[in-house]
Every structure is written in structure tokens, then in C-alpha cells.
Amino acid sequence: MMHPRRLKGSPGNIARYYAIGDYYTKGEAERSSWGGALVSELDLSDDVDPETFRSLLAGKVAGQQLGRHRADGIQHHPGWDFAISAPKSVSVMALAMGDERIVQLHERSVDVTLAYLEEHAQLRKREAGNIVHETTGRLLWARFTEHASRELDPHLHTHVVVLNMTNGQSGDPMASLETRAMYAEQMTCGQIYRNELAHGLRELGYEIDFDPRRGLFEIRGVPKALIEEMSQRAEQINEHAQQHGLVGQASRRQSFYATRGAKVKTGIDTLLIQWRGRLGPYEKPLEAVREGAARSGEHPVPVDRADAARAALFGIRQSEGKEAVNPLGRLYTTGLASHVGEVRFQNLRPLVDAHEERRKLLATRGQTGDEILTRGRTTRRTVRLEQSLAMHLALAVGDGRPVASADRLLPILEQAGLSPAQERALVDMATSHDRVTGLQGVAGAGKSTLVRSLKDAALPGTILIALAPTSSAAAELGEKAQIESRTVASLLAGGGYGISGNHVLVLDEAGQLGSRQALRVLEISQATGARLILLGDNKQTGAIEQGKAFWLMQKLGMETAELTESRRQETEAMRQAVAHARAGDYAASIGRLDKVVGGEDAATLAADVVAEWTRLSPRSRAATNILVLDNASRLIVNSNIREVLQREGVVAAEETRLSVLTPGGLSDQEKRMARFYSGGQVVTFGRDQPGAGLGRDAEYRVVGVVRDAQGRQRLRLVDEQGRTHLWDPRAAKASQVNVFMDEQRVLSEGDRIQWRLVSKELQLKNAERGTIERLEGSLARICWDRGKRVQTVDLFRHKTWDHGYAETIYSAQSKTYDRVYVLAPVGSPLVSAQNFYTAITRARYGVKLWTQDPKKLVERLEDRSGEKTSSLEGLGRLERDHRVQMAARQGPHLRQMKEDQDRERLLRSDHRLERELWTRNAKPKGLADKFAGRAQKVFEALDHHLHSLLSDHHRNRDTPAPTREQQTRDIGREAGRGLDR
């Protein structure tokens, strides 16, 4: 792990702290040394001399005095400590068990890490009145390796004190160091260190266990209980961070300083004796680990090039699945984390570089999203994906028929009671001749009201369908507009089957739509001729997967109406709070909320939220929703509310313990690799897997990972009858694989529950809520909020539910409540401007907010918008790839595509007519007719399946590879070919 921090104090005190030792007396093996490209220029010796160190910390170098001139003298910041720590099991084997080879390996691993860190050294200078950052790749550091933690546990770590100085090249004057890029690479540096260390341990004969998602590892055989026992310092930090809702390295540094104890001075020789004595019952297992390493002996462990290639590709694919543009370091980190002990940085880096040389990976130039992108990268296929949106918008111009005529609109406008802006938006949507249009509206602008009016005004034969990324949002729009509703996923799974030019697809919460989903919806609209109307708000919570398609399509020229006035908020204070939040003035917005509660830690805040909610009357409780950022907070709040309601007698005291399935959180890339599965997980399949003998919708529990005769990893699954199956995750389509965690919940009569996954069998949408009226064993009679429908459900068979008191902000989007309570721990990585705005705009009358420190929350909101990245934005191509420019460049190609789409629509129409005639006229009387009818159904099913496959084939077919000259000249032109595929 790497933990950077800014040094504080006088140069003399800092030099004494590192050179002499602060909380124990260092031993002879704990040496210090200079490092970095500036060492030779400054002619420094091997060991760090305290006096020279102090002078350099003060900014005195090569006859210069660095720093800023202030009224009270020159002010110079001394530097930073980039500390690198070994995993606890490594410290135990190296120090408590005395394996000196591991200490030497640690030093070599630190060398590799620092070489990468130095590449990101920068200085700031002014050019033409602007501040620019110049990468120098030249550092000076003083390095101190230590063997104990502040709590005097074995802790092998190296302090790398980076001095605040750099220059462009040897002989240039020194300048102060800019560390922004170095801080951005701390996760990558930590992973480079761990991969180097883990691979070296294998070469020393040790075996390791690693987590491919987090990139962490420990030496196999070192007892976990001992690791915990010898991690007193880490335990203190973790406990403080958990109590105060601090997540991430930057936030956890607060816990580091808050939990520092008093210094206890002792010697390293004494500590070595103490550590050995503390081993107790763990000494035998540790001796076995050491003996096992000795038996294996030191031996080279060659890196399989195929493993390195898989790691590099995984790093790219996994990262681009979430963001269109990523820091280059994230690609390295993700790839290395998936192959700890198998692949080192020197093996992976050339393969990632090769992707860039072949222009499959492109360097971005501009800022996109809200993350610092010192070296932004996007993939060529992501660029093509976003350019495809522009091509589809160009194809849609003039390709649609109006939904309503002026004659039908006039009486609707007279009766609907719409505002002038709503009337203008309705007319634009209804009369447009573009097949694809948008409506950008602030939260609560009455977009669903417009859809209802549009439905009333629609021409005869027009069929409106409500779509949304979540089933709850689709159902909400469908109910309000009184039209059929589906999820986007359902539409895409069917490949647009049954959709025609008579349909109008009204896609709500379009801001939650990822780029790939948006493209597939556009393809269905193009193939069928159906009108597509996108409704959304760029300020609200965006997509989980890659892209911000709704925003991008507006930038690329989609005809878009706009609604800027919210009609949801009923009080002046709420209207002002929402307006300030939308304008980015979060301090003013928070100041207009009903109540803002501060607290010491996240647990106290959650308890305060529950106490406030339970003081409400039953009627007010029903109209007040508690919104949280993440599922962990949701579980805490749910548990606290249940305890109160049981004391009140609202929830019965008698409880039934049941299993629930919660999302495993695996991405499509992770689902295809056996190493990402863990024991106890439950796997289900959307389709039969005949090769492995696995059935659709059945539950299979993961019991282990094995290797076949070829050395490939397979999962060992056990079905509900106890039978074992071996399954290769690469053999299944990731979208057809669902991975869950099996957790326990207690349930009682009177409990509120929330359904967590769409169920066709039960006719339940995701996020539907209901109340348990009766509970007998696993049979629950539930009264659902929607329509007050009462249903008996066997919760032993149907496990995708949870307690339904608190709700995440993401699932609450599209919903409205009288009042909202928001729990927002400052340290949560999900704190963002988009989430804050989405949360407070759910309320009509008032919002109460719980957070540790309102001022720090404002700083976080100003720093993190939550906005996703875009390839075209990062490459500076938004104007060049606008649909108008795209149409001008691709004129002949567009005309050919339009001819092709017209032919395809005609064929679809003919096929639909034939099917309708068959349905009307076929009346089976005898056995032969019945067989013919069944054959027709089989034909229709096959036809449907082939349409879906053909669509996938066209979408995934590769474009002919352009020459390097063509790529360099115009990546847009290269990407323009085959955009219909």
C-alpha cells in the first residue's frame, strides 16, 4: 500500500523524526538512502546525512533558496512522505520469523514502484499568462525503511520523503514540485508494489492468496487471527473510519492522525524478542509456512505471456465498462490487481503500450467528468460507440412522422392546464418530423404530465410505450400516462420484437442510460421506424455503466425541448434550495433545508435519522422517505427502524429467519473469470447451459475453483439437490449470468419489504414496496403499495427482497414524496452534486439532512459533480462529430444506410402482415393442423431469435482496419465507416 501525506513541521524536526526514529530506536538493518534522478546532480552520498537532509527540507539546494516570498520571509513547503507498506503476513514472516530475504525483496519492490512514481514529477510555470504543468520525471527523495508500527507491531514499511524540488533537466535551476499527478497515481503505485512483491515471494517458495478485485494479498498459511492480532494500529484506524463514515485513502488519513497514541520508546532488538514471544499458538503454523517455502526452494517463476495479455485486456475492458475515459494508471491498476503474483508491471506495461501504438487506445486532451485526468485514455471502440450516436441522430432527421396533428393538439392544450413552457415542449414533441427527439427538464418539471397529454393527442393507431432504465421508473411513467411500460433491458432483450412505425418509445430518466444501451435503443428505432422521445435531466444521477448518452446526444445535435421550471416543490424554501443546488451554490441550498444535523460518526447520524422518523405519526411516516447513498447505510437504517417498530408493536416480536439474495456486484468482465467468484455465492442463469447441465433460473452455490487437465480454471457449483457441476464462466454470455450473495434477514408481520429484482412470475417491478400482513413459515401475505394488491409469496423460493424502510438515492429517482430525510456521510465516495440534487428534488414540502460536517459536505459537493466522462469530449471532438458535420462527411454512406433501413422496415412490415394473417385465419381442426400451428410458433420463435442474433452480428462486426496514415489524419473518418453495424 502507498499512503502519501504532506509533511508538517520545521525542517529540523522532520529530519530528526525520520533519520533518528520517533517511537523506537532503529536497528542497523534499517538503513536510509538517497534516491531519484537528482541524486547524481547534487552529488549526494548513499546514507542520508541529517544535516544535509534538514537543509534540503528547508529548500536550500545548489545555491538556491526555493519558496515564496512573503512579508515575513520566504515560505517553503518541505515535501511529502509517500510511505509504502508490506501486507501484514509479509511483515510477520520477514520480521517475527526472521526471513531476511523478504526484507531485501521489499526493498527491490519499492525500487520498481518509485521508478514509476518519478515519471509523474511535474513543475508549474507561467506561459503567456497561463499556469501550465510540465512533466520533468526528476525527483529527489530520502528513503527510510522501518520495521515497527506506532503500536509496536511488526510492520515492514518504507518512508519515501520526496523533497519539494525538481528541474527540467540536469543543470537547470530548481523549482518547487507539483505533486497532483503523483497523488493521482498512488493506487497504481501501491498495486505495482504488491504485484512485484507477490511475484518475488512465489520465487522464494511462498504461496499467496489474493483478491482480484482489490488487488490485495497475504502469504498462504499465515493465520488470519494472527494478522488481526498484530494489526492493532490498522484496527484503530479502521474503527475510527467506520464510526465517522470515512471511506477512501484521503478520508482515512483523518483517522490516522486522530488515533495516534503516545510515543513509547524502545529498541528494535527488544521488539524482535517480543514479537517472537507473541506468536504463541501460531508459531507452529508459521514454521510450517517457512518449511514449505524451504521445500519449494528459490526458483524463477516465468510470467506467462498469455496471462499478461489477459491482464492488460482486462484492465482496459473493465475500466471502459464504467467510464469512457480513464486515467492510464487505472488501466494498469485494474489489470495488475486481477493477476497478483502472476504478472508484474514490467510484463503488463508493454502490452498496454502496444494497444496505444495500434491506436486501439487513444490519449485524451481535454477534461471530461470530474476526475483529475493527468493521462486520460479512451478506447477506439468507445470513440466509435459515441460517434455512432451522432450517425443515428443524422439518420433520424426527417425520418419520423408527427405523433399528433395541430387539430388534435388544440383541444388538449385548452384542457390540460399546462404552463407556456410545457405547451411549447408538447407541441415540439408531437409535431416533430425527426424520429429521435429529447426533452431536457429539471426535476419535477412535469414531464410525465406531458406524456399523458401526448397520449391523449396522439393520432389514431399510435401506441405509446413508457421505457426507463429501472422498472420502478418505467412503471411510474406508465401509470401516470396510462400507457404500457417496460424496462429498457426488456426491450433490448427482445430485440425490438413487436415494435413498428406506429409505436412511440418514451424513454424516461434518460440520464441513467449508458452509451451502449442508448445505441441499442437507437438501432431498434432505426430498424422499426418507431419514434423515440428521451426525457431526462443532466443534473440528476447518471448511468452506472459507461457514458452520459443523454447529455452527449444533446451536444451532438438531437432536437431537444427544455423545461426549466420545477412544479413539484410546494414551499418557497424548497424551491430556493433546489434552485441553489442546480446553480451549484450548495452552501445556500443546504441553508434553505428544513434541518441540518451534524454528528460525530456515521452510526450516530443513522440513529438520529431513525429517532427523527419514529417521532412522526404513522401517516407522516408513510409520506416521508429516508434516502441513503449506499446499501451499507440502507442496512443500518433498516435495522434501527425495525428495532423501534418492534418496541412500538407495529412490527411483531416473533421473527422468521430467511435467506435473501443480494447483488454480487460482478461486472460482465468479472463474470467471465472464475477467480472473481467466491465460496457461498449463488449463481443463476437466464438461459439453460446445456453443455454444463445447468438450468435456467435454478440456484447453484459456488463451492470452489478447480483446474481442468489443461490448467484452466473452472467453478465447482452445487445445485439444490446437492449435485456437483463443473462450469467454465467463459462459456456463457455474461448478460445471462446473475451472481448473488446469500445473506440472512429476519422478518415479522408488520414489516415493510422492498422487492429487489424484476419478477415476471410474480408480476413485480424492481424496488416495489409492500407490508407483510401475515407470515406463516416462509409464506408471506404481502399488501403491495402499488394498487394495494395483496399477494401470497413463498419467500423460500423467491429471495430477491429486503427490508423496505430506507431507499438508495439511485432507486428513488423518478419518485416523489412529501418529505425526505437524507443521510450523507461526508467520507462516502458516493457523495456528489448529482446525488445531492436528486435527493432533495424528491420532496414536495421539505428536506432534512444528516451529515458530519455541513461545511465539509459543501466542499465535497463542489469538488465532485458525479458527472460521467465522454470520449468525444475528452478528445475535443464534440463539434467535429456533431450530427450536421457527420452528415456532411458521410453523405453517400448515410444515403445508403437510409435505403437499407427502408428495405428492412418494408420486410418487417410484410412479415408482420403475414403473421397477422396466419393468426386470424389459422383455426386448427385436426392433428395435422395442430402440428402446423405448433410449427408456425416454432418458426416465429426462431425468427425472433435470428433477428436478435443478426442485430448483434451487425452491431459487433469489425470495421476494416485503417492504415496508420488514415488513423493519424482523422480518427473520426476511420470510425465513421461501419457505424451502422
C-alpha cell at 303: 510470467
C-alpha cell at 27: 536497528
Q: Is the pLDDT of residue 348 over 90?
A: yes
Q: How many CB atoms lie within 10 A of CB 786?
A: 14
Q: Are 45 and 151 in contact (CB under 8 A)?
A: no
Q: Is residue 949 very low, low, confident or very high in pLDDT (cuts 50, 70, 90)? A: low
Q: How many CB atoms lie within 10 A of CB 39?
A: 16
Architecture of the domain spanning 572-655+748-863: 3-Layer(aba) Sandwich (3.40)
Which of the pair, 367 or 922, is modelled with greater confidence? 367
Q: Is residue 472 very low, low, confident or very high in pLDDT (cuts 50, 70, 90)? A: confident
Q: Is the pLDDT of residue 110 over 80?
A: yes
Distance CA 534, CA 508 (A): 6
Task: List, for residues 41-68, the tens digit of each pLDDT value.
Answer: 999 987 899 999 999 999 999 899 999 8
DSSP E strand boundaries for 128-255: 130-135, 141-148, 154-163, 177-178, 208-211, 216-219
What percent of the chain has pLDDT above 90? 74
Give the pLDDT of residue 691: 84
Give the pLDDT of residue 251: 52
Give the pLDDT of residue 967: 38
Alpha helices in 367-446 (DSSP H): 380-396, 406-415, 420-431
3-state DSSP assignment of residue 236: helix
pTM greater than 0.85: yes
Q: Which CATH number fits domain 387-563: 3.40.640.10, 3.40.50.300, 3.40.50.20, 3.40.50.970?
A: 3.40.50.300
Give the pLDDT of residue 281: 92
C-alpha cell at 690: 446445456
Give the pLDDT of residue 939: 55
What value does the mean pLDDT take over residues 484-495?
Answer: 93
* Residue spans per domain, the chain: 2-230+267-296, 306-381, 387-563, 572-655+748-863, 663-739, 904-976
CATH match of 663-739 with 3.90.1300.10:
no
Which of the pair, 246 or 93, is modelled with greater confidence? 93
Q: Is the pLDDT of residue 33 over 50?
A: yes
306-381, CATH topology level: Arc Repressor Mutant, subunit A (1.10.10)
Q: Are 448 and 477 in contact (CB under 8 A)?
A: yes
Cβ-defined contacts of 46-49 (< 8 Å, 24+): 48/18, 48/19, 48/142, 48/143, 48/144
- Of 227-236, 557-566, 828-837, minimum mean pLDDT range: 227-236
Q: Are 778 and 656 in contact (CB under 8 A)?
A: yes
Residue recorded with cell 440520464: 511
Q: Is residue 977 very low, low, confident or very high in pLDDT (cuts 50, 70, 90)? A: very low
Alpha helices in 21-158 (DSSP H): 38-42, 50-57, 88-91, 100-118
Mean pLDDT score across all residues of the chain: 89
Query: Measuring CA to CA, which residue among 419, 465, 544 is closest to residue 813?
Result: 544
Task: List, for residues 879-919, the tens digit of each pLDDT value.
Answer: 999 999 999 999 999 999 999 998 888 888 888 788 778 87
Burial 451-470, CB ≥16 within 10 A → b, else e = bbbbbbbbeeebbbbbbbbb
Give me Rg for the CA atoms of the chain.
31
Neighbour-count burial of 958, counting CB atoms closer than 10 A to its CB (0-12 exposed, 13-18 middle, 19+ buried): exposed
* Helix/strand/coil (H/E/C) assignment for every residue in 527-553: HHCCEEEEEECCCCCCCCCCCCHHHHH
Q: Is residue 934 very low, low, confident or very high in pLDDT (cuts 50, 70, 90)? A: low
- Of 490-504, 519-533, 642-656, 956-970, minimum mean pLDDT range: 956-970
C-alpha cell at 198: 507477490
Phi, psi torsion values for 751, nearest 5 degrees: -70, 150
- Of 64-68, 202-206, 549-553, minimum mean pLDDT range: 64-68
For residue 51, which amino acid is it? E
Beta-ladder partners of 131: 126
Same fold, 572-655+748-863 and 663-739: no
Alpha helices in 891-970 (DSSP H): 891-921, 927-956, 964-969
Q: What is the largest CA-CA distance in the chain?
A: 105
Q: C-alpha 674: how far from its chain's center?
A: 21
Task: List, for residues 638-682, the tens digit of each pLDDT value.
Answer: 999 999 999 999 999 999 999 999 999 999 999 999 999 999 999
Q: Are 537 and 439 in contact (CB under 8 A)?
A: no
Task: List, for residues 779-829, the tens digit of each pLDDT value.
Answer: 999 999 988 999 999 999 999 999 999 999 998 988 999 999 999 998 888
Give the pLDDT of residue 965: 41
Mention every residue, 6+ apart, whose C-beta is less than 8 A from residue 392: 436, 519, 522, 523, 525, 526
Task: List, for residues 121-162, the tens digit of each pLDDT value.
Answer: 999 887 777 788 899 999 999 999 999 988 889 999 999 999
Query: Measuring CA to CA, which residue among 905, 909, 864, 878 is closest to residue 972?
Result: 878
Burial 833-848, CB ≥16 within 10 A → b, else e = bbbbbbbbbbbbbbbb
Give the pLDDT of residue 620: 95
Phi, psi torsion values for 595, nearest 5 degrees: -160, 140
The helix/strand count (H/E) of the chain reads as: 38, 39
Residue recorded with cell 440534487: 837
What value does the mean pLDDT take over residues 320-333?
Answer: 97
Q: What is each CA distance from 596 to 460, 570, 608, 853, 970, in whole angstroms? A: 52, 20, 11, 10, 53
Q: Is the pLDDT of residue 235 over 90?
A: no
Q: Is the pLDDT of residue 279 over 50?
A: yes
What value does the mean pLDDT take over residues 561-580?
Answer: 95
End-to-end alpha-carbon separation of the chain, Å?
44
Q: What is each CA distance from 160 to 40, 106, 346, 673, in whole angstroms? A: 18, 13, 22, 36
Beta-ladder partners of 783: 771, 790
Give the pLDDT of residue 979: 30
Q: Are 174 and 93 in contact (CB under 8 A)?
A: no
